[in-house]
Amino acid sequence: MVNFKWDQKRALEVAKEDVVAIGEARGEARGKLLGERNAMMKVALSLLKKGLSVGVITESTNLSLEEVRKIAKDNGLAF
């Protein structure tokens, strides 16, 4: 027979640790996605400056046409 005593204080501590761990994992995932997106935006700007076609840029970076247009506009590049 298993002898088990419920410890509510410890259960709450474990639950809090779990919530914190989940929050940290989500934050790391969001940070990684934002970092990758920012990197692709820098690549897109570089490719725009080199005169590559918008189609190549959108395919290479997985950015939308609108995003590439905005990058061009924000950096004073003709589209």
pLDDT band at 5 (very low <50, low <70, confident <90, very high): confident
Question: pTM (2 decimals)?
Answer: 0.70
- Which tokens hold the place of 29? 């995932």
Do 41 and 71 contact (CB within 8 A), yes or no? Answer: yes
pLDDT band at 28 (very low <50, low <70, confident <90, very high): very high
Mean pLDDT in residue range 35-41: 96
Mean pLDDT in residue range 55-61: 96
Quick one: how many helices (H) and strands (E) in the chain? 3, 0
Q: What pLDDT score was predicted for residue 37? A: 95
Tally of CB atoms within 10 A around 37? 14
Mean pLDDT in residue range 12-30: 95
